[in-house]
Amino acid sequence: MNSYSRNQDLSCWQVGSGLLLLALWSSPGLVQAGCDDPPARRVNWLRCDKPGADLRGLDLREAVLTQINLAHAQLAGTRFNNADLGSATLTEADFTGATLSDARLVSARLERATFTGANLTGARLDRTVLTGANLSDADLGGVRLDQADLRGANLSGAKLGRANLTQANLTGAQLPNADLSGAILRRAVLEDAVLTGANLQGANLTGAVLLDADFSGANLTEANLAEARIAGARFTDAKLDSTIWPDRRRCQPGSVGECR
């Protein structure tokens, strides 16, 4: 091949590559993050750095917030329905009364974040770090919290019906009067957790670590505690009607405080 032909082929390749890059750049699925764009529905703030931002009461539904830094941000009342906050840094962010239904927060860092009264129904929070977070009175119905770190979290009065907390770490968590009916807590760690007055009817706690946990006055009707570790756990006045005990015995109907 002569030098003219080689140069011609190279020029054609360069033009073709340029057109391909232009097509990729203009593809709707590859829109670049606009960190200076104003907050709005479907905004793309991928990997943007916005610590301490005040976004209270805004509409961020379906927003792309993956790997964003919103540590210490003010987010009370903000709408995050179907937004993607995967791997985001949200340490000490305030989500009081916010709506995060069906949002994705997989592997997000939420240490000491506040979710008081927030709506997180159907959200994905698998592998999130929620140590010391305040989720009191939050609606977490049907959420995925498998392998989440909830050590020392406040879940007082939280609604966790049908939530998946498989292998979650709830050591020292506060769950008085929480609704955990039908929740999945297989191999979860609830050592030293407080579940006084909690509703665990039909919950699955197989293989869970319940050492020194307080279930006083809790409803464990038809719950499954097979192979759970319960040394030091307190069941004073707890309803154990048809509960499956760690040794796989089924407690007699009407059992209270002890499995009969």
Report residue 33's pLDDT band, with 50, 70 and 90 as the boundaries: confident
- Judged against a pLDDT cut of 80, whether residue 21 lies above it is answered with no
pLDDT, one tens digit per residue, over 201-228 is 999 999 999 999 999 999 999 999 999 9
pLDDT, one tens digit per residue, over 94-115 is 999 999 999 999 999 999 999 9
- Taking every pair of Cα atoms in the chain, the longest distance, rounded to a whole number of angstroms, is 95
Q: What percent of the chain has pLDDT over 70?
A: 88
Going from N- to C-terminal start, the domains of the chain cover 1-30
pLDDT, one tens digit per residue, over 154-191 is 999 999 999 999 999 999 999 999 999 999 999 999 99
The mean pLDDT of 141-152, rounded to a whole number, is 98
Cα separation, 6 vs 17, in Å, equals 16
Q: Which pLDDT score, from 0 to 100, does residue 20 have?
A: 39
At residue 20, the 3 state secondary structure works out as helix
User: Residue 130 corresponds to which tokens in the numbers above?
Assistant: 């929620």
**Rounded alpha-carbon distances, angstroms, from residue 85 to 110, 143, 254:** 11, 15, 45
Taking the chain, what is the end-to-end CA distance rounded to the nearest angstrom? 92
Report residue 4's pLDDT band, with 50, 70 and 90 as the boundaries: very low
Cα separation, 254 vs 251, in Å, equals 8
The mean pLDDT of 6-12, rounded to a whole number, is 47
